[in-house]
Structure 1
């Protein structure tokens, strides 16, 4: 031991540093080579998992949009006055002996023509609905030239179930159905009871048929290379797949994949060797379906070989460079090092403007200059980071606007088109006027700050349009004190919160509820309250919504969090959002703003 210490003591400081650096670098490069394969594979799998997860979320959102559109058409058709009159005449003909009866029933040619014209507006090619059947109160299936109603009678029967008095559309699972001119096909059926608007009597039931290929087209357009998508129902049957031969089969048996039965989204690998698969599942709660993505691991990790070669090449280059730098650094390590260390100690005390005064053409001079350049860059990056933090909330708000406006425009135009097709011209004009008012105010000549009065009119226009679409789900009230209408508010502050109340509050509860907007002055600030008696939230969800960072909570958390961050950015941490909620009962969000004239 003494001999080794003596040997080390006899080596110059330059060589000590050089040898130490070489040993450290060699160990580091060796360790990196050992774990490079594992690390690169994990990074590739993580990237594929994230991409697939985002794709499944997009598929789920598109599926929700499609199903909501089909349900909207069923509600619109069930409330169409022409269909109601035709079915009510048939009801009187067969159920009210003392009532004034029409000359003929549904077999009358003009009556069948009326129903055909009504139904033709909401089937292909105008919509994604393949065909429609009608079951009258007299247990008669009406044939209007699209669906095979004799087949429908054998499939659905002639009676009404216990749920026929509900106001909600009811979806079947995947079924075989026969069309008059195309034969049998795989379809989903959604049925809706027709209730007479004046008498409240059940006068019939409508059945809308959507082909499985329409559902499958949602995920077939942008599917992963080498991957497969499936939609599985609550019983584990495959109800949609790219390979149609797998339909109706048990998913575990057909695909050899086991889905967790806890109802939560999951990602995991299954199998081994060439059969190993990356599996991701997303739950589609409205119909208790599960969307499954299965990607072979060999497709995901095909890039690993190239990455390993790149890592080895970079490691060798780094090792060569390290040898050269270590040799140069070890040549002169006396007084310049201490001077540089002194400068570093001053910077650690908070004197960020201090720079090394050592200047030379040797390696330490180069290090001193590099250190000064690095500190200049760090100082610049710190200033840039402060500016980025200021604009972060604004960027999130712009992103929210870019999502809201096209989505809202699309849904509103779809509603107006549906109203026009059904001959509801006045309602279509009203919807168009509200849409025009919404966009007129939301544009506001490029101003991001508007008056509370303008924000309320914008929100009212949005609510009126949503009420046209979801009349069975929602009602709303607005009560704003006049003395706060002239004060300023960031544009589109209320709309994301109101939208969240409708889509993630009232709709999830599946019964009619209310959205209440109130505003008042409280001391030296303004409080605007949005209340809904919908599905509510758990405490951790409510806390995540107003968090300044992190992953947005499910159920509309991104939009609300963007609003909260933007208010704090504009006015300070004293202002923002306060969330109060009880799961299954209500949600109340209070917006606190300063008293600032527009």
Structure 2
């Protein structure tokens, strides 16, 4: 026993707590289950009856809603203007067309009803004593269409409002070779002494209601009956227990007038009867054998036992959560220390507790702040280093361009073209007025474009107009700011490595526009272009700080400066086809687009 406890205390805290909680929880759950079963079994038997009654009522509501659909459609059609006009025969010899329009409207109403509930409705028939007849039937071609008007009008089926039901019968309105069983809703217009009379008949499919009742499952042996006012009933077509005799229907009708009956006999079987509220002259009644109520009670007993089992599992889970809740702060501190070791400097060690773990967490938080202070000092030194790298890159760009330009001026003087050399010197002077820019690194786009224009003029004079250039910059970005000498090295590359080796006149196009919070600059030349391998090598060289290829020198410096100033928000993309063209697209964030980005400017 002593060794057992020694092994227990050597385990992790979470396991120790679980080994204590679990036996206590299991014993408690079993005791609760036993006492709950003993005390609740009788109440479960009572509740089963109550639940079943509610179930029957809900089923009755659903069935009544189905029955209400054609009845409400009939009421709507009966109250329509066109049916009223046809019934009252409100026409003269001169307005026969209006009569035909009312007949057409009546037929259209029938069609609308038929196609909206065609799974339920068999046919519709309207007739007046003046000879107007409108019908809709989509089944087999009927042998005969029509009714004995007086016989139908004088039937003893109508309520005071003129509506009546006829239980399931063979349809004689639309007589066909194949007999059809229907339930008829009938509306008569007028009285026995009225001059104008009419009858509207909705024939419903008996099979639809039988199938509907077949789907109702209120208990293993229970069933639903839809009863008409005269005591006739449409019964579930696969009755599970017994048939309803004529004397039974009278008894059911008498019983349901007093509400739901818990103990009565239908035939030889003891049942409970649950009736719905009366709608459309029909009653929906649920009949449940008493043996089903006992069965339901037994089922609930099984459910209770299952519930007790589930409760035990839940309680075990809760015990695990309690153990986890006690050990979690220690685990959290351990994981946070690991996060901090892997470089997450934003981790918080604070734990909202006043015990020993709270003291430990505060100590770790103070330690973290000391480390972060050292990191901030290191980051400041890195920023200073980055600024120095920027100055070095700019010092690489400016002499590089000046060397090439002075070489061009010397070349013109050697050729004796002093006027061109003088013009080039003037352009160079303007170029450097912007290029030096009083030591500024950031200038307006308009200044950078003027800078490029002077540069291209210089190169155009040097190469004696061997190329032409076009500059198309949107006025929308002229007052935006950008890095000085961003575009010039790319233009220079286009001349020296694209246009210079091309036979015939070359073209350089510089365009710029704004897209959302970015400026997009495109530099295009129709020079020598590059193959896919050459383009890949160029991109690799641009991204390699130690690469010293002359072709990538200016482009690499521009790329590095853009990354240094704008980070991932600036981008350079290259596209080229050998002996066709080269295109460079530069994306630079506007001042609005730079928000949230750390900058060294």
Query: Shorter-chain TM-score: what band?
Result: 0.3 to 0.5
TM-score by length of 1: 0.35
Greater Rg over alpha carbons, structure: 2
TM-score by length of 2: 0.34
